Amino acid sequence: MNIFFAGLGGVGMGPLAEIARDAGYSVFGSDVEEGLMTAKLAENGIDVHIGPQDGSFLGSVHESHPIDWFVYTPAIKEDHPELVLAKKLGIPTAKRGEYLAHFIEEKNLKLIAVSGTHGKTTTTGMVIWTMKEIGIPISYSIGTTLTFGPSGAFDPKSEYFVYECDEFDRNMLYFSPYLALIPSLDYDHPDTYPTPKDYLDAFKEFALKSKSVIAWSDQHAEAFEGLNNVTLLEATKSMPDIAMIGLHNRRNAILVQDAFSQLRISDDVGDILLRFPGTDRRFEKLGDNLYSDYGHHPVEIAATLQLARELSDHVVLVYQPHQNIRQHEIKDEYTNQFELAEDIYWLPTYLSREDPSLAILKPEELITNITNREHVHVAAFDDGLWNTIQQARHDGKLVLGMGAGAIDGWLREQVRKSSN
């Protein structure tokens, strides 16, 4: 079988390519720019085209290796040249979630889906790590790169498929999980869900499609009211003495412990979870006193700063908001989440999948309600910011870069230049 993935560098797409390769399929793909994911895929022998997605690469591949599936990221529009050409050539097309749901069903796997607003990547990583440490054959897909395995894998001996099941574009509704884990629920993705009620209603629909669900009682339990397949953990259950930094990490670990108990795999995986090495872009250490985190929602910011303060009394935050359309929805929520940072350097918003009718909100418009506003500095990706970061690190302060856009790549590049 020959499969073409359009937008191969995306965190949801790259793992699918690895899974298809493991299943013995011939895999091809394209993306506009090279990144960590495309580089890793190319290293592993996947034919990746970097450059204009004008259809020429797809056409040449189809001519020599007739494509059976054209799988595309939800970020691709209906008039995308490759998608248009695929339909013209009569190639079956599917969004990534639709294709993966078909794959899981075809392979007769039990799906463990981790969905919700925050904590998906870490919780998914914990499940994968624990399965591997126990020695259980496992297939999976996670939206990041890992130090202990590829981002996606298929093992023909596996009973379970573990999936970081994101909610963008209503992706999670393609699936009918054997077990669903929901670490948290906070309104997000206004481009997909116009109102908070739409968001919670979608998760209720997701719960109805699941055989069993584990969630937290303090995370919009009303979304699951009347559903007898949902186990709601009490918030106090997250308070035992777990030697893991970050309250949200401790909560994620307890969710995973309950999952393994409910699956009757093991009632005690605590020691394994304590050895969990983490995932890339989730409080990832880039150098001495320098960390990178994917968080870009007020709740995530507060949780990650709490984690950072467990390591240092002096935390400097460099923050890049994500998506202008999202900032219009959450700008009034930026209030006290930054109080654990002694200085905040606020970058212009990373623009992606935007509504052209919305005015681009400037940093000065987003910081209006922040309680420690006197410690907020409007910044830019320049030598001045890097010099400030270096001075803070030299002074023994913990510097945390947060955002889902360009900030991680910029930090890595500065570290690389500094080490040369």
The predicted structure's pLDDT at residue 243 = 67
For residue 335, give both structure tokens: 């209030």
Domain with CATH 3.90.190.20 in the chain: 284-419
> Hey, what amino acid is at 265?
I
- Say which DSSP state 355 is in: -
Domain with CATH 3.40.50.720 in the chain: 2-95
Strand 290-293 vs strand 284-287: parallel, antiparallel, or unpaired? antiparallel
The predicted structure's pLDDT at residue 177 = 98
The predicted structure's pLDDT at residue 91 = 98
Counting Cα atoms < 13 Å in the Cβ hemisphere of 181 gives 30
The predicted structure's pLDDT at residue 72 = 96
Q: Please write the tens of the pLDDT for every residue from 118-151.
A: 999 999 999 999 999 999 999 999 998 888 999 9
The predicted structure's pLDDT at residue 127 = 98
The predicted structure's pLDDT at residue 325 = 92
Give the list of residues 6+ apart from residue 378 with CB closer than 8 angstroms, or none.
Answer: 346, 363, 364, 367
Q: Please write the tens of the pLDDT for every residue from 29-42.
A: 999 988 878 888 88
Task: Please give the Cα distance from 262 to 205 (Å, whole number).
Answer: 22
Taking 70 as the pLDDT cut, the residues of the chain under it are 237-243
Q: Please write the tens of the pLDDT for every residue from 224-271.
A: 999 999 999 998 765 555 668 888 899 999 999 999 999 999 888 989
Q: Which long-range contacts (CB under 8 A, 24 or more apart) does 272-278 make?
A: 272/129, 272/130, 272/133, 272/134, 273/126, 273/129, 273/130, 273/242, 273/244, 274/242, 274/243, 274/244, 275/133, 276/125, 276/126, 276/129, 276/130, 276/244, 277/129, 277/147, 277/148, 278/122, 278/125, 278/147
Q: Which residues pair with 403 in a beta bridge?
A: none
For residue 231, give both structure tokens: 């186990």
Task: Please give the Cα distance from 371 to 357 (Å, whole number).
Answer: 30
Please give the model's pTM, rounded to 2 decimal places: 0.83
The CATH architecture that domain 284-419 belongs to is Alpha-Beta Complex (3.90)
Domain with CATH 3.40.1190.10 in the chain: 107-274
The predicted structure's pLDDT at residue 238 = 58
Classify domain 2-95 at the CATH topology level: Rossmann fold (3.40.50)
CATH 3.40.1190.10 fits 107-274, yes or no: yes
